[in-house]
Amino acid sequence: MPYTIMVAVDGEPDHRAALDWAAARAARDGARLELVHVVERAWGDSTEEPSRLLVLAVGSLLEAEKQIALHRARDVRERRTVAAGGAGTSAEVAGDIEVGTRYRYGHIGPELASVSREADLLVIGTPAEEDRRRAFAGSLAVRVAAVAECPVAAIPHGWVDSGHGVVVGVDGELQTESAVEFAAAEAEVLDEPLTVACAGYIANPLLAGLVPEISLGDRRERVAADAAALAKERHPGVTVFTDVLDTAPSRGLVAEADGARMLVIGTHDRHGMQRLMLGSVGHDILLNVRTPVVVVRRARASAEDAGRR
């Protein structure tokens, strides 16, 4: 059954990497693509809807972005057809891609989090590397990834389709399973290797003299090995490597993903006010990302399972 990829667009030519990534993925998977533009509402604005002229302008923006998405999807489909030794017209290739559009009126973070309930994957752009030194750069991706109801793909502005392999960061927590499943499935579709990376300092200065340093390293080895075993069990055709890094988790995972096609990380299934925080590792990764990052929330337990707990 086709799934829905939702991508936030703003009409800026320099910000279309997220649109390109989402359209290419929709073309690859036969997914439905939906473009969303949020009309920013001033904090003191009491109106329920934007002006008619603004709505018309937004409609034109979305139609232009839709045509760009269709062109990108058509290009991907044509190249895949040629690579497979087949042939087909552009109309035939693009006809399988369903692209919808919508706008929301409000504040961009909450609005994107709200529409994520209707998506299987939400795609947003993040600042290019040269813009990350500015104050609060990347904060939108951090806020949305923390509260979205579906996985969130953060694509750096200026990204171009490149890299090889998929990297997944693991730490032994419950959210690891969903992240490993997503990453392994992606590696299988791409027919590329998966690297399971566990990063952290082996020597913990707070535990000096209390816990042998080797025990911390052993734990990370086990965490990586268990996650790799899970990936191989569910996707036996995928080549899986493991890497244990003695460095800060965010720095290690960003470095590990350099040159990869994608980095996948999990996020805790927090509740209440805690859910507004992504966590320091995910926060730092999204502020320093140089490759597409997918943040996967732990799959919700069934009501029956929840009742037993």
Q: What is the pLDDT of residues 16-50, one digit of tens each?
A: 999 999 999 999 999 999 999 999 887 767 778 88
237: left (phi over 0), alpha (psi -120 to 50) or beta: alpha
Residues 115, 6 contacting (CB under 8 angstroms): yes
The pLDDT-based confidence of 257 (bands split at 50, 70, 90) is very high
The CA distance from 42 to 108, in Å, is 11
How far apart, in Å, are the Cα atoms of 258 and each of 100, 134, 159?
Answer: 33, 22, 13
Buried b (16+ CB within 10 A) or exposed e, 120-148: ebbbbbbbbeeeeeeeebbebbbbbbbbb
> What H or E segment, with its residue span, contains residue 219?
helix 213-234
Provide CATH code, domain 166-308: 3.40.50.620
Among residues 60, 9, 5, 14, which one has the least CA distance to residue 34? 5
pLDDT above 90 as % of the chain: 54
Q: What pLDDT does residue 275 have? A: 43
Contacts of 229 (CB under 8 A, 6+ apart): none
Q: What residue ranges do the domains of the chain occupy?
A: 4-156, 166-308
Among 221, 268, 222, smallest CA distance to 245 is for 221
C-alpha torsion angle, residues 107, 109, 111, 113 (rounded to 10): -160
Q: Quick one: residue 85, left, alpha or beta (phi over 0 = left, psi -120 to 50 = alpha)?
A: left
Q: What is the pLDDT of residues 125-170, one digit of tens each?
A: 987 666 655 544 556 888 898 889 999 999 999 898 889 999 999 9
- 5-15 pLDDT, tens digit each: 999 999 999 89
pLDDT band at 216 (very low <50, low <70, confident <90, very high): low
CATH annotation of 4-156: 3.40.50.620
Distance, in Å, from the CA atom of 27 to the CA atom of 175, rounded to the nearest integer, reads 29
Ramachandran category for residue 98: left, alpha or beta (phi over 0 → left; psi -120 to 50 → alpha): beta
Average pLDDT rounded to a whole number, residues 172-200: 91
The pLDDT, as a whole number, for residue 233 is 96
